[in-house]
């Protein structure tokens, strides 16, 4: 092999090595995925400082560039969950979760990165505000009142957060309060009280039924007594004599009966002795 070929091969290798070094030092192709916006910035290798370059909306890439980098921010609505352990107004410890759905305004990527903490925008700007608003609202109520007021607590927190975020890149979509759970001992005591109340209602109903039944029996007894009184008042001596005579008249018509009248009965009523002819 001639010295010329050796020199050319050596030159090519050197060029490749230099190219690889250059690529490793700064040749980039920053990409932004769908649903994200990218903050493009230049970062000089030796001299100068990092500086904003441009914005790109995914899905896209900036192409091969020299030391051009990107910070991608998810612009889709995100759900942020927070766990709470709060003392209620009546000093009972409550456990629950609150959920914040929040999005970012399109075109505000430069402000989000430079002023609001880039990927940490929620933790740096909204997390403590969100937690404070929920905490303040829940502590206004007694434990079991807060359970019933979950929707109202969420609504008030939503309105306050929306107002706070008016001039920011943040869009408050929804605030939802999860199930608020009182201490287990308190929940059990309430359950027992509900059972006792239900039993009391049942017994009161039974008392009402018994009273009604007693009233019915009393009314029935009054009716019987009244009937007896009426009957007794109509059974006079004259009435009984009249009925006796009517009975004797009916018996006198019987062909198989013989009557013997003895006119010695009270008030002239004869004593009757019948002889059966059979």
CATH code assigned at 140: 3.30.479.30
Report pLDDT digits (tens) over 51-89. Answer: 899 999 989 988 888 888 999 999 999 999 999 988 888
Tokens of 186: 């308190």
159 and 85 within one domain: yes
- pLDDT higher at 199 or 37: 37
Output the pLDDT for position 105: 94
Report pLDDT digits (tens) over 233-273. Answer: 666 666 666 666 776 666 666 666 666 656 555 555 555 55
Sign of the dihedral through C-alpha 228, 233, 234, 236: positive
- The answer to whether residue 96 is domain-embedded is yes
CB-based contact 83:47 (threshold 8 Å): no
Dist. CA 170–CA 104, nearest whole Å: 5
- pLDDT higher at 180 or 254: 180
- The answer to whether residue 201 is domain-embedded is yes
- Strand-strand pairing, 31-32 and 36-42: unpaired
Q: Which of 145, 161, 182 is the last residue of a domain?
A: 182
Residue with tokens 């990527």: 109
212 and 191 within one domain: yes
- pLDDT higher at 188 or 172: 172
SS3 content of the chain, % helix, strand, coil (to 5): 50, 25, 25
CB-based contact 76:47 (threshold 8 Å): no
- The total number of structural domains in the chain stands at 4
Which residue in 116, 35, 47, 21 sits closest to 72, CA to CA?
Answer: 35
Q: Which of 18, 49, 74 is the last residue of a domain?
A: 74
Dist. CA 65–CA 24, nearest whole Å: 12
Q: Which of 74, 101, 133 is the last residue of a domain?
A: 74
CB-based contact 76:35 (threshold 8 Å): yes
Q: Whole-prediction pTM value?
A: 0.58
Output the pLDDT for position 110: 94
- The answer to whether residue 239 is domain-embedded is no
- The answer to whether residue 14 is domain-embedded is yes
Tokens of 103: 């999005």
- The answer to whether residue 225 is domain-embedded is yes
Mean pLDDT of 35-63: 86
Task: Give residue 145's region: left, alpha or beta (phi > 0; psi -120 to 50).
Answer: alpha
Tokens of 235: 């059974």
Report pLDDT digits (tens) over 188-239. Answer: 545 555 555 666 776 777 777 777 777 787 777 777 777 677 666 666 666 6
Dist. CA 34–CA 15, nearest whole Å: 38
- The answer to whether residue 240 is domain-embedded is no
Q: Domain span at residue 17?
A: 3-74
φ, ψ of residue 15 to 5 degrees: the values are -60, -45
204 and 169 within one domain: no
150 and 58 within one domain: no
92 and 28 within one domain: no
């Amino acid at each position: 092999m001639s010295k010329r070929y050796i020199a050319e091969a050596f030159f090519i290798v050197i060029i490749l090595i230099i190219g690889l070094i250059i690529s490793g030092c700064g040749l980039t192709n920053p990409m932004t995925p769908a649903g994200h916006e990218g903050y493009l910035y230049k970062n000089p290798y030796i001299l100068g400082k990092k500086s904003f370059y441009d914005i790109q909306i995914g899905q896209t890439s900036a192409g091969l560039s020299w030391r051009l980098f990107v910070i991608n921010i998810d612009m889709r609505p995100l759900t942020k969950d927070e766990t709470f352990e709060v003392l209620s107004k009546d000093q009972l410890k409550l456990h629950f979760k609150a959920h914040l759905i929040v999005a970012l305004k399109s075109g505000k990527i430069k402000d989000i990165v430079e002023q609001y903490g880039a990927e940490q925008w929620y933790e740096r700007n909204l997390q403590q505000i969100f937690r404070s608003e929920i905490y303040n609202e829940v502590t206004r109520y007694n434990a079991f009142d807060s359970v019933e007021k979950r929707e109202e607590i969420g609504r008030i927190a939503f309105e306050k957060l929306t107002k706070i975020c008016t001039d920011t890149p943040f869009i408050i979509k929804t605030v939802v309060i999860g199930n608020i759970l009182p201490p287990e001992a308190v929940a059990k005591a309430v359950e027992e009280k509900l059972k006792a109340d239900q039993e009391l209602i049942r017994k009161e109903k039974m008392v009402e039924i018994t009273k009604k039944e007693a009233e019915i029996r009393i009314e029935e007894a009054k009716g019987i007594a009244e009937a007896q009184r009426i009957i007794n008042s109509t059974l006079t001596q004259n009435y009984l004599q009249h009925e006796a005579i009517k009975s004797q008249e009916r018996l006198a018509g019987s062909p198989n009966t013989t009557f013997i009248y003895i006119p010695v009965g009270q008030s002239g009523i004869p004593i009757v002795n019948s002889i059966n002819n059979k």
